[in-house]
Amino acid sequence: MNYSVILPTLNENGHIVQLIDSISTIFVKKDLAFEIIIVDDNSEDGTIQTVERHKKENKKIQLIVRSNLKKNLAESINEGIINAKYENVIWMDADFQHPPQYLNEFINEIHNCDVVIASRFLSTSGRYFKNKNFTKDTNENQSYLFNKLCNFFLFKDVTDFTSGFICLKKDYFKDFRLQGFYGDYFVNLITYLKKRNAKIIEIPFTDSIRATGYSKTLVKVNIKYIYTCFRYFLTLFFNIIKTKIKI
């Protein structure tokens, strides 16, 4: 089997080479065909230049820069999918919050299903803030509640509707494009996959804190945060409707 790993980046210069090398090592050890597609939202910290230099050493790297475009995670991933050449597509955070060692589990499990999602909410999953040295981000309580509601109203066999750490067949994107922002795009994707009768399994994982810099999803309780919550619940409402309509 072969894999296209998509890394949406925005100011990841402090750790991007380490992440690329960690991912590469996993696939090289397993002797699997792979590529790493960096889709950058016009970083200003040197990320683009660092990746350009590293491409000379690692021929598996493809770099796409979204210059002069509105920053959007879903659109960055779409660009990666369009340019992916392999049958299995993986995307993950580019800041080590999605530890690359779990790619081993994706590789092991994708033989048995169509979609593998790394979940923060299985009974055997772990969370970074269980470590007493770290503080829980403001949006974690909202994320937990939202995923519980999605599990109750949408699909009982899925626990993490905003994971963003996934492996699936590229064929699913022949007639589908990701739409939304940081969390709601993933809810829309899961509903689409369920309507297509995709076999989805979840694996437990323990997330980490961001390696360097600042998280793209870090929020404060303000108007923007309230708007984000509103978008999430609006997404839930529309996906409930979708599940009731046969298309």
pLDDT in tens, 78-110: 999 999 999 999 999 999 999 999 999 999 999
Tell me the three state secondary structure of residue 236: helix
Residue 125 and residue 205 in contact, taking contact as beta carbons nearer than 8 Å: yes
Task: Please give the backbone phi and psi of residue 126, each rounded to the nearest 5 degrees, phi first.
Answer: -130, 165
CA distance 153 to 224: 26
Other beta carbons within 10 angstroms of residue 103's beta carbon come to: 23
> Which amino acid, one-letter code, is at 39?
V
**What's the pLDDT score for residue 143?**
87
Residue 139 and residue 225 in contact, taking contact as beta carbons nearer than 8 Å: yes
Tell me the three state secondary structure of residue 106: helix
Tell me which residues of the chain have a pLDDT lower than 50.
217-221
Q: 């009768």: which residue's tokens?
A: 197
Domain that holds residue 226: 2-244
**What's the pLDDT score for residue 137?**
76
CA distance 42 to 152: 38
Other beta carbons within 10 angstroms of residue 194's beta carbon come to: 18
**What's the pLDDT score for residue 226?**
76
CA distance 127 to 139: 14
CATH number at residue 8: 3.90.550.10
**What's the pLDDT score for residue 246?**
59
Whole-model pTM?
0.91
**What's the pLDDT score for residue 219?**
47
**What's the pLDDT score for residue 213?**
60
Q: Which burial class, exposed, middle or buried, applies to 60 when counting CB atoms under 10 A from its CB (0-12, 13-18, 19+)?
A: middle
Q: What is the DSSP string of 152-198?
A: HHT-TT---TT---EEEEGGGGSS----SSTTHHHHHHHHHHHHTT-
Residue 142 and residue 183 in contact, taking contact as beta carbons nearer than 8 Å: no
Give how many domains the chain has, as a whole number: 1
Residue 103 and residue 166 in contact, taking contact as beta carbons nearer than 8 Å: no
